[in-house]
Chain A
């Protein structure tokens, strides 16, 4: 079996007295779309930040493509990318300028051609010369996705990729991510509390509560395990600390 793309062991993050992530372990295999699912404050964004090496763990280790993200992250960062509604692109640069800068940072060969391809795929062509700050929320999300795909990453980390989007745009983004994974064989890890999104995109779900992984499996396996009809009901059971049906 090939080495997992993400290998997390005993990962823990404390902020003073607050335990944000509490000794979590998981792996994500190549080509899988996985989700960190949990309510507000469950530790999703903190976990993703540690996976990126942006945040140092208090304990434990993160290996991405076999590289330790505390000490060796620059070896693998060109193969990854990231998008989050909490991190923005410079508002006063045009879409094209932002993508050129990030294309150069990621060492993308022939960056203009790559921007052209992404602009066509993500329906950004007419916005390329507009200031990023003047775009609508949906347009900004597509630009953020274009930045996240500028280096055609093998691992894509997405923090709440469709939050604040209208249902139509959200559906479009999900469709695009499905197509991207099928075309490139990329691994995607997303943090979300959108059940429909997770059910549609993910074959592996890690349920987080108060910084701990309280359950994991495929969406259907979780639904069956909790004796529920939907993942949303499972989410509510877990969020409210109810035990799984199989254990009852």
Chain B
């Protein structure tokens, strides 16, 4: 057998393959990936078409709402991708087998992140492409900053996803609904559909503590002022690093605790 010492891309690949097998064998799972982002885009597409003729703010950049909803979906789906890949293991009572194999915890986390990226691409790309013929709005017109916005939101989604896994490891499947709802606590203060300046002053301070505010303000700067705000990108990058480190530390603590309590062997439906 090959040595287990050190990082193994093969083990990460094995875990990605495990989830790809699952998607391949279950069309409802694959369909669900595409369904919500597309439906949301269609809904906001019609809303945008209406507001373009009734709102001077939206009329200045017609795609602003569709681009915002697609970018928000990147973060939401990124977080779900991490949390659901973990929940699949819990539902199938497979954690015990995984963690007596040579799979390292960080390799497992990398596989969750890789699957999250794949799930996001499978879910968002069709919706983004469909928006072009349906509404004549292409998110790709954001240009190079789109890569930055996408990456920053995906990483923030990962940070939230890791923290949610930690909570599920700590509290069991009773906490699984957090995977669906927890991230929405950020939505009012992220400035997805409106500028941060509309928030009460004290709430603006809180909003600027999260990378999402910088990303959505940065997106609007590109669309309305045709300006790439590098300062926003740098701030969001720094905050992402802080939050992903916090998420990873909470998960490591929770994993260690699960090894102390025996939760890895007992967890499941």
Contact = CB atoms under 8 A, between A and B. Distances in A.
- Counting chain B CB atoms within 10 Å of each CB, the highest count among A77, A104, A147 belongs to A104
Contacts of B22: 90, 92-93
A89 B101 contact: no
A88 B4 contact: no
- Counting chain B CB atoms within 10 Å of each CB, the highest count among A97, A101, A147 belongs to A101
A91 B25 CA distance: 11
- Counting chain A CB atoms within 10 Å of each CB, the highest count among B5, B15, B102, B268 belongs to B102
A97 B21 contact: yes
B177 interface: no
A86 B94 CA distance: 10
A148 B152 CA distance: 41
Contact of A87 (B11, B21, B94): B94
A84 B1 contact: no
A102 interface: yes
B259 interface: yes
Q: Chain B interface secondary structure, helix, strand, loop or mixed?
A: helix
B264 A54 contact: yes
Contacts of B226: none
Interface stretch (A2-10, A105-113, A205-213, A215-223): A105-113
A185 B195 CA distance: 70
Interface string B56-98: 0000000000000000000000000000000011001111111
Interface in A171-217: none
A131 interface: yes
Nearest to B88: A90
B92 A106 contact: no
A54 B105 CA distance: 12
Interface string B242-269: 0000000000000010011110111010
Contacts of B102: 74, 77-78, 105-107
B26 interface: yes
Nearest to B97: A87
Nearest to A57: B260
A82 interface: yes
B171 interface: no
A53 B15 CA distance: 21
A55 B262 contact: yes
B201 interface: no
Q: Chain A interface secondary structure, helix, strand, loop or mixed?
A: mixed
Nearest to B260: A56
Contacts of A92: 22, 25-26, 92
B170 to A, nearest CB: 16
A94 interface: yes
A86 B1 contact: no
Interface string B1-23: 11111001011011101100110
Contact of B2 (A78, A82, A84, A89): A78
B184 interface: no
Contacts of B101: 77, 102, 105-106
Contacts of A101: 14-15, 17-18, 21
A78 B21 contact: no
B31 interface: no
B99 interface: yes
A89 B92 contact: yes
B14 A105 contact: yes
Given A55-B265, A107-B10, 10 more contacts: A53-B100, A54-B99, A55-B262, A56-B259, A78-B3, A88-B94, A93-B21, A97-B18, A97-B21, A104-B14
Interface of B: 1-5, 8, 10-11, 13-15, 17-18, 21-22, 25-26, 88-89, 92-104, 256, 259-262, 264-266, 268
13 contacts: A52-B100, A54-B264, A77-B100, A78-B1, A82-B96, A87-B96, A89-B92, A90-B89, A94-B21, A106-B1, A107-B4, A107-B11, A109-B1
Interface of A: 15, 45-46, 49, 52-56, 74-75, 77-82, 84, 86-94, 97, 100-102, 104-109, 131, 147, 151
Closest 10 CB pairs of A and B: A107-B2, A104-B14, A87-B96, A90-B92, A88-B93, A97-B21, A78-B1, A105-B101, A101-B18, A52-B100
